[in-house]
Amino acid sequence: MSPPLFTLDAILAATGGRAEDVASDAINSISIDSRELGPEALFVAIKGDRFDGHDFVDTALANGAVAALVSEGRSEGPGRIVVADALGGLRDLARAARARSRGFIVGVTGSVGKTTTKEALRLVFEAAGETHASIKSFNNHWGVPLMLARMPESAQFGVFEMGMNAPDEIRPLSQMVRPHVAVITAIAAAHLERLGSLENIARAKAEIFEGVEPGGAVVLNADHPQINILLEAAAAAGITRVVTYGFGRGVDWQITEVETAADKSFATIVQGDEQYALTLGVPGRHMLSNATAALIVAHLAGIEPQVALRALAAFGAQPGRGQRLVFGPTDKPLVVIDESYNANTASMAAALAVFSGIEAPGGRKLVVLGDMLELGADADALHAGLADAVRASGAERVHLVGRHMAALAAALPEALVASHSSTIAEAVDVIMGDLAYGDALMVKGSNGVGLSRIVTEVKAKFAQS
């Protein structure tokens, strides 16, 4: 029988809390959502932007949680573990989980490709041993400690995604995770509203170096002009093991001989005198770049290259991040490329480049593009700057959603713009009425625009037709 994730005594020791009539001595899962509770769950009552977990403690306990971690003075009754601050207590549990771990720990950040690289690493590590990885995009001030606290002591590998919207956000996350390897996937125009420049974005991402374990390594995508900022920051953090990768010359691991098909990608990865044939079950140069980062980390972890390459061959796109969906008759299906989760200038250009290689099965090529959020004063110009990439994608009809997409509408030929709506609510009926079997559709925009609703509507209509 496996040991519990935490004993009650271990929780009290880690948090300095006190137990109020907690009946169970074993905690085997941790949740911050009273509706999603695992077995023998500890419910952590954190205060979020919209909800306060303390309002749901009784619900969580009624739904099967064996205990609730609550802030002093916020919730009373049996089944409580009372600490000074519930989120602080969750962080204490995260540090305790990391302190007892003997696993190989990896931290991943970057403007684009974080989640995809994390998922590629999860696949590779699972082929080599027990692996614990962040779910979804739980990468912020509560997501990282939640994911770290859930890591079993027996895990041989741990992979944690770290995100940020402003300076000084990644540093404490990395210092909590203490990765043996830190990966920065790319620097691109995201969160410019708060950070102001690509250089500042690079410096904020480089905060991940400050948590790297002594003797650890960093893996850096060199295909952006800010690479020198990252190299300087790594040196300032005392990190001597720096590995670069990319499509250009002069990197430690070079991606060459690239081929992409509708649902696959191929490349030769050159590292010194060694060459590796990389195959993925998803199209796109950016996907090859993310997978190369995973291959490098596997090498640093001592995993045989062929083990990593076989695992990566099964790698496919995730929902909202390039997943390919097919509906209807085999001879004339509706093909949907779901890129609805997030967007910035780099990921938008990459997605449109992939779409350029996709053929409509017997109809038209359409794209739905939503605003790229948090781009600051240059937002309109950056949206207008997508015009060449849209034209090169081969799209015949373009539906635009969001205030800043008006700038792109003005930069495109009038005949190409099928519609422009301020909100997704206004756009849904227009877009759905324009789709038919045989079409190829790509949906791409920042998560806050809500374009995932289009994908949901397509599934509901065309999967049942």
Q: Which residues are annotated as a binding site?
A: 110-116
Quote the CA–CA distance of 347 and 463 in Å, as a whole number.
Answer: 28
Element (H, E) at 67: strand 67-71
Q: How many CB atoms lie within 10 A of CB 156?
A: 17
Annotated binding site for ATP, which residues? 110-116
Alpha helix (H) ranges present in 178-226? 192-195, 198-205
The candidate with the shortest Cα–Cα distance to 202, out of 173, 171, 228, 172, is 228
Distance CA 79, CA 57 (A): 9
Residue among 215, 123, 201 nearest 163 (CA): 201
Q: Which of 455, 188, 124 is nearest to 343 (CA)?
A: 188
Q: How many helices (H) and strands (E) does the chain have?
A: 17, 22
Q: How far is CA 432 from CA 368, 371, 429, in A?
A: 11, 19, 5
Which residues have CB under 8 Å from 46's CB, separation 6+? 32, 53, 86, 87, 90, 142
